[in-house]
Structure 1
Amino acid sequence: MSDLNIQVKKFADLSLQELYELLQLRSEVFVVEQDCVYQDIDGKDDEALHVLGKKNGRIVAYTRCLKPGYYFEQAAIGRVVVKQSERKFGYGHNIMKASDEAISRNYNTSHIKLSAQQYLIKFYESHGYKTQGEGYLEDGIPHIAMIKD
């Protein structure tokens, strides 16, 4: 059993502390660790479901889910992140499973699209996603579209 406490919240339901922690985690991994300068705060957070994975009260895993038609034709999962020191515990699998369930419960669909960093294809395939189309560069990092039906 995982010691990860998962919560799903709308933007308006996030505490200031949670918002700060999730933005800090996204910046820590996507900007600093991956050495990628990009606009993380993109105006979509207020329309998203935020899937928070907390350990000892701190956010260590996170995703952002968007309703069908908002970003892609399908529902979308993005900003999939696990704190580097916590990756050995399999929390990425926990947060993806919870994100799929949150989309099903809140948007009544299991048709989901995501933009995967290519080195994580096998990880997403283990959750039922299949690659779609050709790879592309997003913010200088190789990505590929993946779909779950």
Structure 2
Amino acid sequence: MSVRVLTTTVDDLDARTAYAVWRLRQDVFVVEQDCPYPDLDGRDLEPATRHVVLLEDDTVLGTLRVLDDGGWARIGRVVVARSARGRGLAAMLMDEAMALCGDREVRLDAQTPLTGFYAGYGFAVAGPEFDEDGIMHVPMRRARA
């Protein structure tokens, strides 16, 4: 089976795919990583937000969102289903996200152990490490290309 990439606004996500995206984020961030936090923060609904979704048949394997934060783009909610890890899917997500961002400045908050992964996309640590919901993160930034 092949994995396909869907890039869309929330309004163009069908209800079942949207449900699967939010379920995956809940399963990983809230349950697996034990971080109860308000995932549904309203930013998914912003007109400029783009959702990148990896699908195999009708199964959501991974997702992220690209936000417009004014002068820059912000990548967040990067997640791959536990059952699909180790297949290079996070790289597929990031390749699509970086294409969406073009030459804009891009920011993200990386879980500290993943800084090397994001460095491969031109990101550099842009501030001190911080605790977000019990998981250490670092702000990262990729300057305008």
Please give the alpha-carbon distance, in whole angstroms, between the structure 1 residues aligned to 2:22 and 2:10: 12
Of 125, 130, 133, the match for 1:131: 125
Secondary structure of the residue aligned to 1:134 is coil
Q: Deviations over 1:38-72 (max 9, x none)?
A: 11001110112100111122111100111132xxx
Of 73, 84, 95, the match for 2:82: 84
- Runs of 4+ with >4 A deviation: none
Unmatched tracts of structure 1, length 5 or more = none
Hey, what does 1:148 align to over in structure 2? 142
Correspondences of 1:100-115 after superposition (within 5 Å): 100-104=98-102, 109-115=103-109
Please give the alpha-carbon distance, in whole angstroms, between the structure 2 residues aligned to 1:55 and 1:110: 30
Hey, what does 1:32 align to over in structure 2? 31
Correspondences of 1:27-106 after superposition (within 5 Å): 27-47=26-46, 48-69=49-70, 73-104=71-102
Please give the alpha-carbon distance, in whole angstroms, between the structure 1 residues aligned to 2:117 and 2:57: 25
Unmatched tracts of structure 2, length 5 or more = none
Please give the alpha-carbon distance, in whole angstroms, between the structure 1 residues aligned to 2:57 and 2:120: 27
TM-score of the superposed pair, with normalisation by structure 2: 0.92
CA contact (8 A) 1:100 1:110 kept: no
Please give the alpha-carbon distance, in whole angstroms, between the structure 2 residues aligned to 1:4 and 1:131: 31
Determine what percentage of the aligned residue pairs are the same residue.
35
Q: How many Å apart are 1:141 and its aligned residue?
A: 1.1
Hey, what does 1:3 align to over in structure 2? 2
Q: CA RMSD in A?
A: 1.3
TM-score of the superposed pair, with normalisation by structure 1: 0.90
CA contact (8 A) 1:111 1:148 kept: yes
